[in-house]
Chain A
Amino acid sequence: MHGQKRAEYKARLLQPDTRAKLGSKAQQWNHLSEELLKQRRRLFASPPPLSDTVTTTEGAANGGDAAAAAETAPSPEVLLALTEKMLSVNPDPSHLWNIRREMLVYLIQSSQPSAIDTAGDNQEGDDNNSSKPSTLDIEAELKLTAHCLQRNPKSYSAWFHRKWALAYFMNGTSNQEHWANMKSILQSELELCAQFLQLDERNFHCWNFRRFVVGLLGSCGGSDVTTTSENDGEVNNANDAPSTKSAVDNFTGSWLAWMYQIEDEDKAVWMGPQISQNACRAVGMSTSCQERNNRAANSTTAPLSKIELEKIIMNEWDFSTAKIQDNFSNGSAFHYRSKLLPLMLEFRSADDSPSSQSDAYEAISLARDEWDGIVLDAIFTEPDDQTIWFYHRFVVTWARRNIVSVGNGDGSDAEVTEEFEGLLYDMVDSIQELIDVEKEDSFQGNSQDRHESKGAKCKWAYLGMHLVLSTLLELKSNDVDDEDKTELCERAKECLHELIIIDPDRRERYQILESELI
């Protein structure tokens, strides 16, 4: 059993009380399991009659038969209650969540007025019930999944159901009040993420969920609400903004649907869909703006303004900063930051005079901010945590990539390179200082209380130094100044020699790196 101490676990199982209790729980579970599947099969063999809220003439005629049939056919509500009971104990079985979703969709779809009634001609039944199809009780699903996630914060199925419920509920939003409510729910979800990450800051399910919520939030659109014309139901053009390729994209958690203002080839990698479009369509989520607009009484949302878009992203950027400052070893936060950093460059790029040179300077400036603001502190606080150094490597290589495209041939690329080299030399100085401090520290005796993942002291500092020196060498590859290059090369080799001594397990790689230096 994952993560359970053997001696304790076995001892517990030997106690007759515990065995009896577990035994009876097992029998209860098995009974419910078989019952549930049996009932579900019966339900689909003979579906119960449509509910009273449907106002078609056929519905009214079936009234008498409904009562009789209801006695023998299992009810969706009962199945829902069964799934809730079982999932509260064991949230992992995905088929239980499937059954739950089936019942929820069934109940909602069977309460929808038929297509004829939208025009309002055929209302024979109660006016009170006819125009209000029931929507998902989102609070119930959020409550159940929250309970499940407290038991098992790493349950794929529970997290997925929470996403699905939010998407499905959002699809049901149709007027301004609903949109405000939706945004408020999503803000609470961000809060929930923050809480879960307090308990386990590396829970990747939660980080993915956060990105999903941000995806939905962006899809809620801007606050500049447009209304349809009252006279002929004509839809305002903004609703068909090119931003939303397909409305169903808005429910998948992807950031693509509303990041239309960013001109970056790597758009796709920011955050991809976590629910498939096909699955969204299969349960009736809107496939076009027009469909949604037809359902909306009088308003819908406008696309996000650039300011609103930036606000959402900056909130995420600040969140990653906060998590890193809480704990420099937070690899998940650094990973997120690595996705957001290119976006920061987008925001800083001058709209009015875009040039690859100004972009290059911005990139170097951002890299310097990351170095001065985050990495420097981190490496002096936790010098042996590889996370920070992997991020350092990323910042250096990312900045490098952003200046390589500058080549106007008018000497401007030399200036850009010089600026970047300045930053790199600063890094060399600081890393050397760190190495000196760490080595001094080791002579005074290290603490034995090191996490097993840390590895040898100074290893990562040497690797970081090697990276910076190699980058400098690369930049100077066309330079005539051999002395400078020779010195850099010698220094880089020294790092590798140190590494072979202190980290012999990976000497193969260091030898390869040395051969690349020549």
Chain B
Amino acid sequence: MAMISETAAPVGPFYDDLHTKYIVTLGDKLDSPSSYEGAVTEHLRVSGVYWSLAALALLRNEDEVDDLMGLTKPIQAATEGTEKNKIRSAIVDWVFQCFDARVGGFGGNCSGENPHDAHLLYTLSALQILAISDSLDDERLDKDAVANYVSSLQNEDGSFSGDEWGEIDTRFTYIAFSCLALLKRLPLPDWSSNSTQVVSEEKPIIDTCKAVKYIMSCRNFDGGFGCVPGAESHAGQVFTCVGALSIAQSLHLLEDADLLSWWLAERQCDSGGLNGRPEKQADVCYSWWILSALSILGRVDWINTGKLGQFILNCQDDEDGGIADRPMDMPDVYHTFFGLCGLSLIGQLEKIGSKEGRNYRQIDPVFALPTDVVTRLGLKAQVISNGGVDVEKRLQLHSILAI
């Protein structure tokens, strides 16, 4: 079987400098009171900051990221305009301002003193930012409160709501697992007794077993997963479901990993890019949703990684940096991050880095964090070794299920 390390490098330049500048200047651009884009995306700023940081973290080391982004210390605004000498508070400090103490979760932003309503989406992004900046042990983080917030959102059938208003979606199961894993509070299932492990006589904070069974109830005729039982398969949901199974060390429940992997592999279009469902257009972000799932399933080589790499490079903005959803479209930081993740998961980012004379980092397919962060935190998920083949080095920090 072709190993990803053997794939030919894609043709064409990689705009390291431009992408870095794009990411670093984005914050100030969006923060400007006259930024329309900033206004209409203010509600998800915490996620936007996570995508920016994690993207930059692949291209630069810890200290460089801190200096460039003002992660743990205040920074001078870097852009044009009237606010040239403005000092922006450290990102980590701002993240804590987004904490909604009323329920124990994080909102997507804050307006003055008021954090936006907490939601699981932003709670995970907040924790991921803290993880990257090595601030999970900051005394301002009330780990119990956050863990209890996550716990309060689990429903009787094992599913999770996004917030107290009750929208149910398998995305939120992945998020719940990931949050608790980052907080070191995730109880694992004990499949020999078909229940969630009990630690020191306390009731488990969530019923992981039930949550996993709920995920399996979302399985469809094509092997894929949807957002709720009965919903159509979608590559994004497939990642969240497979990712959740991975974090919960429960991949053995996937009876037909072949069928699912094949469905994922069939997302590759003539352009080399991947789509999210049959008969849809290719989009760079699926480079992440699908490659991460295939990495966990041990079948990255079921797609043509060379063609995918080429597609991703073709989506770069060669004027101002950033990566777009498809060639010649306007970039955004979401697609920039996931494009870089895609390049990383097919083993191309490292090669590109060497050409640039840089030591690019690798992304972990389960937690969507740089692998050194995952190692530092001691996070451990599960990946499949298909047919007992040796698992790629980056995945060896996880436990391996040989099937």
Contact = CB atoms under 8 A, between A and B. Distances in A.
Contact of B156 (A96, A164, A277, A505): A277
A98 B277 contact: no
A348 B262 CA distance: 33
A390 B222 contact: yes
Contacts of B39: 25-26, 29-30, 33, 90
B157 interface: yes
Interface string B301-320: 11110010000000001010
B166 A30 contact: no
B166 A94 contact: no
Contact of B329 (A5, A97, A269, A385): A5
Contacts of B167: 156, 160, 274-276
B194 interface: no
Interface string A262-295: 0000001111111111111010000000000000
B221 A164 contact: no
Contact of A95 (B37, B108, B281, B301): B108
B114 A26 contact: no
A315 to B, nearest CB: 16
Interface stretch (A75-83, A125-133, A431-439, A450-458): A450-458
Given A332-B232, A452-B270, A2 B332 contact: yes
Size range of the chain A interface in the assembly: 35 or more
B228 A274 contact: yes
B111 to A, nearest CB: 5
Contacts of B228: 208, 271-274
Interface string A62-96: 00000000000000000000000000001011111
Given A385-B278, A454-B270, A455-B270, A269 B232 contact: no
Interface in A20-63: 22-27, 29-30, 33-34, 37-38, 41
B287 interface: no
Contact of A331 (B40, B108, B279, B301): B279
Contact of A278 (B155, B226, B277): B155
Interface of B: 1-2, 33-40, 42-44, 107-108, 111-112, 114, 116-117, 119, 155-157, 159, 161-168, 217-222, 226-234, 258, 262-263, 265-266, 268-271, 273, 275, 277-282, 301-304, 307, 317, 319, 324-325, 328-332, 335
- Ranked 7 nearest A-B pairs via Cβ: A279-B166, A272-B229, A93-B43, A23-B34, A271-B230, A22-B36, A276-B166
9 contacts: A5-B328, A22-B34, A27-B34, A30-B42, A211-B230, A269-B218, A329-B278, A338-B220, A387-B279
Interface of A: 1-7, 9-10, 22-27, 29-30, 33-34, 37-38, 41, 90, 92-99, 101, 156, 160, 164, 202, 204, 207-208, 211, 255, 268-280, 282, 329, 331-332, 335-336, 338-339, 385-387, 390-391, 394, 398, 450-455, 505-506, 508-509, 512
Given A26-B35, A26-B36, A95-B119, 9 more contacts: A24-B34, A30-B39, A269-B219, A270-B230, A279-B161, A452-B271, A453-B279, A506-B302, A508-B1
